[in-house]
Amino acid sequence: MNKKLLIVGNWKCNPVTQKEAEHLFVSIKKEIKKINEVEVVVCPPSIYSFLFKQGKNKSKDNEIQLGAQNCFWENKGSYTGELSSLMLKDFECKYILIGHSERRDYFKEADNEINKKIKSVLKNRLKPILCVGEKSRDSFDSEGKPINEMSLIISEQVEKGLAGVSQSRISDVVIAYEPVWAIGTGIPCLPDDAMKAALLIKKTLTNLYSRSIAEKVKILYGGSVISQNAVDYIKSASMDGLLIGGASLNASEFVRIINKVVL
């Protein structure tokens, strides 16, 4: 099945000023107009979302799509400090990251909360990007025997994150494999290991739904992605796209990654 590549930039809690955010957005947008082979999404801090809404030209299908880094599972109510997927939709947001490892770790988000967020995003006709990944590269039990943590963690996170999601909506879900030990460390996952994770995700989806449905779900790789290794995850690991952190804050490097994967 031929899927259009999906490249997602996660700005996280950056940059610290509106001026910097606008410069970064304009710099990326200028170059993206020349590229039609991929769908490009940028997830800025929500306070900068207005930059995308004001600058978007709906007549062109290769413009940057707006994504969000998180959302709450209710549409509205007494939830101080939260943003709903319905609010983000009003800002023309298309994708929302759900269950990023930093949300799981720093804010102690549990699988049941992540599941509620995914259902809310789908209900409001947006596309959730479910982030999954193991914490350790090598794990051992009390007797010193190696544990396949990747297999255990990823299967559980996918199953619990998608609990109750119907067959008719699963094709709107994107899954991003981000091994926690590779995020921001400069130690990327080997393409062969990334491919194993992708195959595991597809196997889990097949068990939950069917093989044909599993093939429709896009799987991304994230974790220390740079222009030097980006192609390996698309060509060698057969990923459907990339979730890029630090490199997305450098317009030249972000665009360089995109250009390399479409060649």
Closest C-alpha to 44, from 31, 34, 32, 53:
53
Phi-psi region of 260 (alpha: psi -120 to 50; beta: other; left: phi over 0): alpha
Q: Is the CB of residue 223 less than 8 Å from the CB of residue 182?
A: yes
CA angle 34, 5, 255 (to 5 degrees): 40
Active-site position among 100, 102, 109, 134: 100
Q: Which two tokens stand for residue 258?
A: 């995109």
Active-site position among 82, 149, 178, 253: 178
Asked about 23 being catalytic, the answer comes back as no
Quote the CA–CA distance of 151 and 128 in Å, as a whole number: 22
Provide the annotated active-site residues: 100, 178
